[in-house]
Structures are given as C-alpha cells and as structure tokens.
Amino acid sequence: MIILEREQSYVMVTQNDHAKIAGKIAQNCKKDYFFELERTPEVLLAIKEHDRGWIELDTSPVWNDKTDRPYSFIDYPTELKIPFYKKGLDEVEKMSKYAGLLCSLHYSSLLHDATESVVKEFWNEEKQRKKRLSKELGLKENADKNETLMYQLDLLKFSDYLSLYISLNEPGDNKRNHPFFQNGFPQLFLFVTDKPIVAHWENPETVSLSFSPLKNELEVQLPYKEVLKDQIDKKGILEAYKDTPLSIRKVTFK
C-alpha cells in the first residue's frame, strides 16, 4: 500500500493500481526510449505487472503499532512480504520470461542491501532465476543485449517513480516532496541528457517534467481511498478501509 498522511486521514493507493499507471506512462513514452522494439510489449508487461505480488496484501491493510499508522510498502514486515514477492514474480514469468527477468532484477535491486536471512535467501533465489532466464532467452554473455536489458530496467524504474510521485506527494505542493524525489529521479537517459528528470506540480492536477520522454501530454486516473483517522479509531484499519468508497484523481503529465 502507498500511503500519504494528512491531518485527519490517510490517502491509500494500492500497489497494483500504481503499477497500472506506471504501465500507462511507459506505454506513452517515445519509441526512442525502448530500443530493441520487438521487446516493447514484454517491457510494457513488466512495468504494468511489476507490483503483482502486492495484490493480495493490499486487500487487507495492516496497522503498525510502532509507528501508529498503517503499514506502507516502505515499512511492511519483510518476512511477510517476501513470499508474495516470489508469487508475483512467478506469475509474471509465466506471462513472459523477459518480463519476469525485468521484474526479478527490479526487486533484487530494491533488497540488495538487506541483511535478514529471508532476504538473502530471496536474493539468492532471484540470482538463480536471472541465470536461468538469461540462458533461456539467449542473453548470457551477450553484452549488447544485457546493456539493453539494464536500460529497460531503468525505464521500468522511471515509470515506477513517476507514478509514485503522484501517490506519495500532496497534489500541487512542491515544498514537501517525499525524500524519494529530493534530487529528481535517479534514472538517467544519457542519450538525451546527463541531467536527472525533475518533476514539478504546476497545479493540483498537472505535473510538468524538466524534460519528458512522453510522446505528448498524458492524463492518468489514480484510484485511491481517503480513510479517515476517526473511522480507523472506531472500526480498526481493515473495516475502515473496506467501508471507504473509492475515489479517482485525474493528473496530467506534460
């Protein structure tokens, strides 16, 4: 779950809904940003499905007693989420080996510094997945294809970050950016510029980019639930979340 805290509520976005927006962002990128165009459908599949493992977890949000707020994807207990990561990656691989490889690389990079034994086990298993899929896809020891794969991983991460930007930040507020975005997006598109892309709210419904990989302006619709804190106090997080109606926020990228 992606969570933005307000004074009297939590704005909650499911990881899968966020991933679908990431997919739409990537789908509207210029062809130049894909390279190896025959792989484009599989790259787009990976981006759209990269948070597939969170689908079941996000149906039942959990309260974090230590922080006195709902668990988000950032602090969700590792030992609980790792099995779902594996499940999601297995499901993506069944759809497309190339997409499965991209998603595996994405999750491995997120957890490479963790020290828990369950994470080390996960990382080693994903290392084996990479080795197996690279061989099956004919990528092993092919420097050009592996360079393209790493670039496409950055495209996944950029689309992920841009979708997170509108989920983690207060619409229209450029003064309180989430720490993820303090220095712009870390992914660089060196064939265009050596500077990071920086996002900026023009107004609560419009995000402008310092330079844009998009073919044209793109409007997305972000589903979310704004769960009131007093309802959580009365019902608990699970019932309060389920009883809160779904809302839709439109955002245009330009």
* 175-221 tens-digit pLDDT: 988 999 988 898 877 666 788 899 999 999 999 999 899 999 999 99
CB 180 within 8 A of CB 210: no
Query: How high is the mean pLDDT of the chain?
Result: 93
pLDDT value of residue 113 = 66
Q: Convert the pLDDT of each residue in 9-31 to its tens digit.
A: 999 999 999 999 999 999 999 98
The arithmetic mean of pLDDT across residues 103-132, rounded, is 87
Distance CA 220, CA 58 (A): 21
pLDDT value of residue 192 = 67
The arithmetic mean of pLDDT across residues 26-53, rounded, is 92
Phi/psi at 215 (5° precision): -65, -35
The arithmetic mean of pLDDT across residues 26-46, rounded, is 90
CB 102 within 8 A of CB 46: yes
The model's confidence at residue 76, banded by pLDDT at 50, 70 and 90, is: very high
